[in-house]
Amino acid sequence: MSDATRSERPLRLAVIGIGKIARDQHLPAIAANPRFTLVAAVSRHATVDGLPNYHDIDDLLAADHALDAVSICTPPVGRASIAMAAIDAGLHVMLEKPPAATLSEIARIDTHASAAGRTLFTTWHSREAAGVAAARSWLADRKVLRMTIDWREDIRRWHPGQDWILDAGGFGVFDPGINALSIATRILPGAWTVDAADLHVPGGRMSPLVADLTMACGDIPVTAGFDFLRQGPQQWDIVVETDAGLLKLREGGSVLEIDGVVTRGADAEYPGLYAAFERLVRSGTSDVDVTPLRLVADAFLLARRHEMPAFSW
């Protein structure tokens, strides 16, 4: 157990990967949490004002900031080596979703963290959306008949110019789609499988812009449609039919509707993640759930691939 864990002083943290998600979500959540002190930032292409900034993790570790932990927000390809270096330096590690580029990578990181006695936290921010916990509780006492997922957004609006998302290992439409899978597997625990998948990949790219999945949780049928080219109103909905009525999680899980009764909660996804990370570090435990990533991997394994017109920004 570290000195920080024993004394419960604020955890000294560095953020690695200063892109849109780090600026929009991680940095504000850290600034609002007195249990963390943001000590440094690492990025190849960006800096954070008021902090020491480093090009890579080797430069960060050489600076000897007496860190306790790192939060890794880089694209998934290449993330494993960063996490391993952090663990080797005795640091606790928090991973932005998806936790790694492959299942074997995250298994290796998990084994390494466990052997070193360091906390590893594979985060799924959408599970912290306001309606998710209540949806899980309501469904626990009911017979679920089927689930439908519609996750449709505009890549040009949310990820402008981020070509890595459409490269090999970039996940394509599953970059947002895995958020839906993280919610679905949270509110409906059980043995999940992918039965069929259709992936639509633009010419000259490696990852899909559109995907349709047929899945099951035990004997419960689940269908999912993911679209990265949605113009107009964006859609992040999960609908669950039960023997006792209809449950809808809308707007990415922030709005819960049960038989027409709507409850809307405040956005607290990333503050919730950092609160959870702090608890894990203090207790000397880890939280490593790869279920959403496994479903995406299965979809790629089973997929019927369809070429669609070339994509440009």
What is the tens place of the pLDDT at every residue in 174-195?
Answer: 999 999 999 999 999 999 999 9
Q: In 3D, which of 93, 78, 13, 4 has the Cα closest to residue 44?
A: 78
> What is the CATH code for 129-265+297-308?
3.30.360.10
Q: Show Cβ contacts of residue 137 under 8 Å, excluding neighbours closer than 6 positions.
A: none
pLDDT attached to residue 5: 52
**Whether the Cβ atoms of residue 22 and residue 15 lie closer than 8 Å to each other:** yes
pLDDT score of 8: 82
222 Cα distance to chain centroid: 21
Q: What is the pLDDT of residue 1?
A: 42
What pLDDT, on the 0 to 100 scale, is given for residue 159?
94
Give residue limits of the domains in the chain.
3-122, 129-265+297-308
Q: How far is C-alpha 26 from the chain's CA centre?
A: 12
- Tallying the residues shown for the chain, one arrives at 313
Whether residue 238 contacts residue 147, with contact meaning beta carbons closer than 8 Å, is answered with yes
Amino acid 75: pLDDT: 93
Question: Do 129-265+297-308 and 3-122 have the same topology in CATH?
Answer: no
CA distance 146 to 260: 18
Is residue 97 annotated as a catalytic residue, yes or no? yes
The catalytic position among 20, 97, 143, 248 is 97
Low-confidence ranges of the chain (pLDDT < 70): 1-7
Q: Which two tokens stand for residue 92?
A: 């606790």
DSSP state of 154: B
Q: 276 by DSSP, 3-state: which?
A: helix
- The phi and psi torsions of 297 (rounded to 5 degrees) equal -60, -40
For 78, 175, 213, 232, 287, the CA distances from 226, given in Å and listed in that order, are 25, 10, 8, 15, 27
Does domain 3-122 fall under CATH 3.40.50.720? My reply is yes
